[in-house]
Amino acid sequence: MAWLQRELRLAPRRRGFHLITAEIEAALREMPPLRVGLVHVFIQHTSASLSINENADPDVPRDLEMAFNAIAREDFPYVHTMEGPDDMPAHVKASMIGSSVTVPIKDGRLLLGTWQGIYLCEHRDRGGPRHLVLTVNGE
């Protein structure tokens, strides 16, 4: 069994749900390929999150953004407001969605389902670059 780790810097993105599967696959290709294993993808931020969801219909990320904006509204009377009105709702959304995903690997490739992709869920209007840690285990 081998343990491998790599950090990945994502370019800043606007608020919303953004497919990052190709960027993760590119980072994995820079590592020794595994016949079988797992990749754990962790985001080092508290105002963005990671999710696996449908990657085929462009309405899905728009609808996800709309739904989460309704759940964690900016006009809620938050106490933590010093970083702007989008900050505390971003923390709520990140807590609900989560900071990591784990995906099986076979022959060096992600074993996602036909309609699955990995999303960066950017919850800030201007979140800046985001940093991921990819930890791979397998043989």
Q: DSSP for 80-127?
A: --TT-TTHHHHHHHHHHH-SEEEEEEETTEE---TTEEEEEEEEEEE-
The tally of domains found in the chain comes to 1
The pLDDT value recorded for residue 79 is 97
> What are the structure tokens assigned to 31, written together?
């590592």
> CA 14 to CA 128: how far, in whole Å?
9
Looking at this protein, which amino acid is placed at residue 101? V
Domain housing 21? 2-138
Considering the entire predicted model, what is its pTM? 0.96
pLDDT tens profile 13-61: 999 999 999 999 999 999 999 999 999 999 999 999 999 999 999 999 9
Q: What is the CATH number of the domain that holds 69?
A: 2.60.120.460
> CA 78 to CA 122: how far, in whole Å?
20
pLDDT tens profile 60-78: 999 999 999 999 999 999 9
> What are the structure tokens assigned to 119, written together?
């999303």
Buried b (16+ CB within 10 A) or exposed e, 17-40: bbebbebbeebbeeeeebeebebe
The chain-wide mean pLDDT, for the chain, equals 97
